[in-house]
Amino acid sequence: MYNHYYTNPYLFNPAEVGSNGYLNFTLNHRQQWRGIEGAPVVSTLTFEAPFDYKKTTLGMSIRNYERGLITTNDLLATYAHTAYLTKTTTIHFGLSAGVTSTDINMERIDDPDDPILAEYLRYNMQPIGNFGFKLKAKSGINLGIALPKLFNTSFLNSRNFESYDFSPFDEILFTGYFKKRLEKKIVTRRYGKMKRRVEIEDPYAPLQMYFVYRYAKFTDERIEVLATLHLHEDFWVGGAYRVNYGPSGLVGFNISNFTFAYSYEPANHLVEGYTQGTHEVQLTINIGDRKKQERTKPILRTLPKTETHRARYSVEDISEGGGEDKGVAKVKKYYVVIKSFKDFDAADSFVRRLEEKEIYANIFYNNADKRYHVYSYQTEKLKEANEQRKAIQELTNFKSVTIITVEQ
């Protein structure tokens, strides 16, 4: 069991790999029922690698699971695919395959000559796998189904890869959660002694709610509800309740590219008086920028390539906008402006640097603001201009691209 599936749903469902949009490593460590000898201890390291605009994501999970005399090590590789049902509704499929290795601590067994252990192979390796899918809607509702164990687990094996009992429906996990993405959120951030209002990338509503139902053939059913409240964009608290087990408390925070979360389950009626409770910690490291996944990759259009610089421009050659001619029918033109300058020479130098990156641009002087604007695209359609502004922002390092409207 994990309490931090709300920050790393990949722990439960392979279709969730890469769902946070970052290339990341996550380490989860859980010590269950501290104070009881042989109580479960599980450490899990996951790696997620989403790709910009691609509908595929790769992942890897490494797990060490100790309980009593048995230690199990799992290694899984995951492939996930995203399909669009509508422009805003997606369905995700994930499949994992790998190997598991089991060891029994023979030194702590009272009777190592027990016949059941006669042909047991230590560190025997067997196949494992899991499968899942998730439906994600713009409303913030996410519904998932996972088959956590495609093969029946067998610990006492006499040789490697002899346990191939395919039993995918011995365990089924249903998840549902509400995590509403907001269109825009402005917060105050301090930079040195100054405060600035900045826009948060991909903000979510403060309240998030989760539900888990697990059917298992050989153990009790599991029903759990969980909720988190983000008191700040980088700090949250929460709680969960597991039927027939008890409550747990949650807390977490973000610092730069790091996310830390902690949960505690108090001693309950099952082990009351014998345990110090269950502790679980999780650390996530995000690498680079958030990946964007859309139906299609934006097409970057720029002006046609011109001749190599002679005297590329002169102030007299450039076009002008924002004049005051009256009585003449005017046409609105939209310019996708990468950068603006007060000085012509600076603008011309910037155009030359863009050419080195195979981005072809031009300059126009706007009478309205008395500035030289370097633009990469012009059109009479606002929709096209917005598409190209977005393409430049997402496919280059120029983030402050603007659209200037000029009547000519």
- Nearest CA-CA partner of 404 in 385, 391, 383: 385
pLDDT along the chain (408 residues), means of 10: 93 94 95 88 96 90 94 96 89 96 84 79 91 94 96 86 89 95 70 66 86 91 94 91 91 94 83 79 93 79 67 54 57 89 90 88 86 90 89 83 85
Q: Spell 110-139 as b/e; 16+ CB within 10 A means b.
A: eeeeeeeeeebeeebbbebbbbbbbbbeee
Neighbours of 181 (CB within 10 A): 11
CB 85 within 8 A of CB 93: no
Give 282's strand partners.
28, 261
CA distance 178 to 138: 10
Q: What is the end-to-end Cα distance of the chain in Å, rounded?
A: 66
* Tokens encoding 106: 């023979």
CA distance 341 to 71: 66
pLDDT (0 to 100) of residue 185:
66
pLDDT (0 to 100) of residue 310:
43
pLDDT (0 to 100) of residue 197:
67
β-bridge pairing 319-321 and 70-84: unpaired
The CATH superfamily label for domain 4-287 reads monomeric porin ompg (2.40.160.40)
CB 140 within 8 A of CB 155: no
CA distance 359 to 306: 11
Residues in Cβ contact with 57 at an 8 Å cutoff, skipping those fewer than 6 apart = 17, 18, 48, 49, 50, 51, 78, 79, 80, 81, 82
CA distance 407 to 324: 9
pLDDT (0 to 100) of residue 313:
47
CA distance 253 to 234: 5
**Residue 86: burial class (beta carbons within 10 Å; 0-12, 13-18, 19+):** exposed
pTM: 0.77
Query: Which residue type is seen at 404?
Result: I
CB 42 within 8 A of CB 65: yes
Query: Which residue type is seen at 231?
Result: L
Neighbours of 359 (CB within 10 A): 18
348: left (phi over 0), alpha (psi -120 to 50) or beta: alpha
DSSP E strands in 161-273: the ranges are 171-178, 186-191, 194-199, 207-216, 222-232, 235-242, 246-255, 258-265
Domain 319-407 has CATH 3.40.50.300: no
pLDDT (0 to 100) of residue 87:
80
**Helix or strand holding residue 95 (H, E):** strand 90-104
CA distance 309 to 345: 13
Residues in Cβ contact with 138 at an 8 Å cutoff, skipping those fewer than 6 apart = 88, 89, 181
Q: Which residue has the tokens 């994600």?
A: 136
CA distance 213 to 216: 10
Give 261's strand partners.
252, 282
> Domain-by-domain residue ranges, the chain?
4-287, 319-407
CB 360 within 8 A of CB 376: yes
**Residue 363: burial class (beta carbons within 10 Å; 0-12, 13-18, 19+):** buried
* Tokens encoding 362: 């031009």
